[in-house]
Structure 1
Amino acid sequence: MTFRIGIVGIGSVADTHARGIEEIATAELVAGSCRTRTKGEAFATKYGCAWYDDYEVMFVEADLDVALVCTPSGNHLEPARAAAEWGVHVLCEKPLEITTERIDEMISACEHAGVRLGGIFQNRYHPAARTVHEAATSGRFGDLAAVSVSVPWWRPDEYYEDAWQGTRALDGGGALINQSIHGVDMAQWLAGAALDVGPEVNPVAEVFAYTDTLGHDGPEIEVEDTAVLSLRYRDGTLGQVLATTSMYPGLEKRIQIGGRDGSAEIVADEHGEWQFRHERGDETEAPTSSPSADDRSEYGRNVEAFLDAVESDEPYELDGHEARKAVAIVRAAYESAEVGRPVVPN
């Protein structure tokens, strides 16, 4: 079948998704919604689709199969719930929502309506990430010692001016829940594969965190631009998360996993290196995302994986419960920073 997709909220990430959808043989972008006519009509012209100023009208009139929610983070629940009520499957940008309570409402609404709910964490669909995940699943790292992520990025003051980013109401936090949520998800995903904890269990057992606003001092930012987390995973493995928008001019993101039998590092999602105590013939080259085997974007792969799961009625690896885990870790970190003690994600 060909899935009819509508995008709710046509900011910058909607363009990325629109291009990704063009790569999928079983998908068609038929509509987009936003409240601004000039912006909506320009998007519709660019991608040959319809524009609606009301997403609920779009769900009905455009005869959608899937709603791709790309609104500000704290506005994901409402369109997701409305789509479910109209029998439309929901695929939602990161983070799934800004609190676990709102995510649980999304999960409940979709389950009650009998539609699928999925999250977008496109970094999982880089070939380098898949390669390292496969190594973790097969136990190549042995008994784990550490799984860590560093996102030492920079955003200028202008990034936060007159924007929803950096606000508690719509961003839900700062550098940790926005820029670094992909890294948090990657850490728990890789650790979960190595520990084989099962799909319903968050592999992070507790979080201790410090957060502060150190690189921006204007009224335009309400939340942290710097966060440092210590993680303890369920088997005792340790980890760290560095999340910033305060380190000019910004450095490359790094994800590291290692144990008694080997270690791997992914840099900027694209390339990395690994070494194992016991080498195998199929692991002589370091994991890389360039060039990819099919020349598709990670966004296209992420959306296609969701569509494949819907069509086959098979599990989707980033369903609502899985996409919730990273947000649970982030919320535990924010609570820890406030109360000054370790907090268990829930």
Structure 2
Amino acid sequence: MNETSETHRIAIAGVGAVAEMHALSIADVDGATLVAGSCRTASKGREFATEHDCDWYEDTETMLEESAPDVLIVCTPSGAHLEPTLAAADHGIDVLCEKPLEITTERIDRMMEAADEADITLGGVFQQRFKPLFQRVHDAAAADRFGSLSVANAYVPWWREDDYYDGAWQGTRELDGGGALMNQSIHGIDATQWLAGATMDLEPDENPVEEVIAYTDRLAHDDSLMEVEDTAVAICRYRDGTLGQFLGATSMYPGSLRRIQLAGREGTAEVLEDELVTWRFRDERDEDEELRERFGDESDSSGGAADPMAIDYSNHRRNVEAFLEACSSNDPYPLDATEARKAVAIIEAIYESAETGEPVRLE
């Protein structure tokens, strides 16, 4: 079990598939208790409450009033993150929100403003940042081991069957806010900009990506099933001149592992889901071989390449634990709303470029 410095009463808004990851994570953290979950579907809500020994509420507002949590984890559909966050802010309750923080930066800014006014902590979930392997890549980037970066790339060549979209909120503009980028590939985009940003001297609210040019399309799924893209490619320039590529797809049967690559004059790191494919630096160190041995085994996880639930919850647990520790200590949470906003801003720019056919600069 993992410990936080105080007991946290936690409620979850939206008890779909990703809420299971959070419920299991909470159970693994000593000092954290899941007290309630909200869901409009009674059978689903009661099943969740029975499985996780908590209360069920049909309405999130009522849950906040009656269960009195000190932390709300938001797991509703992506375009429905704003409302429960505003409700939690009204009650002075800290909020940890699943990715994306919201589907537009305008809605995210409203969440941030409410959190500031209520003096609550608002944080995001990007569990890839909490992988031990990615932490080591980030450390190397911050230590300038890559030298001047040349490229920072993310490839998410995934697949989703038609029934994933059929009658679901996924693939809709209103609740998904986009397709393969905003839903699936946002993890790869966030991780890559975070890793590349570690090599730059940036202000906290400054996005590492400066400009994008992109194409998006719906190529493998009928428009009766989804309104948004299942395939996207983008080229970007980072603020220090580094170049990058983003591929995001749910159109590539049978789905392959996510790949993230950082490379520069002094070294290269390449990660295939949980496997360290390349870890080579001009200044080889003793710990490098140890790292290759530890993370060099072929990944035994599909990482959600074809099945969105084919992942374990260990990184979610690390993400939840880091948030609760920040709430207990009043120290900054490393994945605060300002950080979680950056990936959404990049994807917004990609969508704008794909629509206009022109490069788009990020402010």
Name the TM-score class by shorter chain. Answer: over 0.9
- Provide, for residues 250-301 of structure 1, a one-character-per-residue CA deviation record: whole Å limited to 9, x for no partner: 111000001000000111134433100011112223262989xxx9810010
TM-score by length of 1: 0.97
- Provide, for residues 166-187 of structure 1, a one-character-per-residue CA deviation record: whole Å limited to 9, x for no partner: 0000000100110000001011
Matched, 1:288 2:305: no
Q: Counterpart amino acid of 2:20?
A: D
The runs of 5 or more residues in structure 1 that have no matched partner are: none
Cα distance in 2, alignment partners of residues 296 and 343 from structure 1: 36
State the Cα distance separating 1:114 from its structure 2 match: 0.7
- When structure 1 is superposed on structure 2, of 276-285 and 327-336 the one drifting more is 276-285
Cα distance in 1, alignment partners of residues 201 and 64 from structure 2: 39
Matched, 1:53 2:58: yes
Cα distance in 1, alignment partners of residues 110 and 274 from structure 2: 32
Q: Which of 113, 121, 140 is equivalent to 1:108?
A: 113
Matched, 1:297 2:302: no
Q: Which of 299, 312, 323 is equivalent to 2:329?
A: 312
- What SS is found at the alignment partner of 2:338? helix
Cα distance in 2, alignment partners of residues 189 and 173 from structure 1: 21
- Provide, for residues 68-114 of structure 1, a one-character-per-residue CA deviation record: whole Å limited to 9, x for no partner: 00000000000000000011001000000000000000000011001
State the Cα distance separating 1:188 from its structure 2 match: 0.7
Cα distance in 2, alignment partners of residues 342 and 57 from structure 1: 46
- Provide, for residues 5-52 of structure 1, a one-character-per-residue CA deviation record: whole Å limited to 9, x for no partner: 000000000011100111111211111000111111110110011111
8 A Cα contact 1:32 1:44, kept in partner:
yes
8 A Cα contact 2:186 2:343, kept in partner:
yes
Q: Counterpart amino acid of 2:326?
A: A
8 A Cα contact 1:137 1:196, kept in partner:
no
- What SS is found at the alignment partner of 1:176? helix
- What SS is found at the alignment partner of 1:64? coil
Q: Counterpart amino acid of 2:318?
A: R
Q: Percent identity?
A: 58
Q: Which of 143, 146, 153 is equivalent to 2:148?
A: 143
Cα distance in 1, alignment partners of residues 343 and 358 from structure 2: 19
Cα distance in 1, alignment partners of residues 296 and 81 from structure 2: 30
Q: Which of 235, 242, 256 is equivalent to 1:237?
A: 242
Matched, 1:126 2:131: yes
Q: Which of 148, 162, 169 is equivalent to 2:174?
A: 169
- What SS is found at the alignment partner of 1:222? coil
Alignment of 1:5-44 (within 5 A): 5-44=10-49
State the Cα distance separating 1:318 from its structure 2 match: 0.8
Cα distance in 1, alignment partners of residues 275 and 132 from structure 2: 8
Q: Show the counterpart of 2:217.
A: 212
Cα distance in 2, alignment partners of residues 193 and 117 from structure 1: 22
Matched, 1:261 2:278: no
Are the structure 2 counterparts of residues 17 and 237 from structure 1 closer, same or farther at C-alpha, using a change threshold of 3 Å? same
Aligned pairs, how many?
343
8 A Cα contact 1:23 1:296, kept in partner:
no
Q: Show the counterpart of 2:69.
A: 64
TM-score by length of 2: 0.92
Cα distance in 2, alignment partners of residues 206 and 288 from structure 1: 33
Matched, 1:97 2:97: no
Q: Counterpart amino acid of 2:153?
A: S
Cα distance in 1, alignment partners of residues 107 and 141 from structure 2: 31
8 A Cα contact 1:128 1:272, kept in partner:
no
- How big is the alpha-carbon RMSD for the aligned residues of Structure 1 and Structure 2? 1.5
Cα distance in 1, alignment partners of residues 231 and 204 from structure 2: 30
- Provide, for residues 124-158 of structure 1, a one-character-per-residue CA deviation record: whole Å limited to 9, x for no partner: 11111111011101111001000000000000111
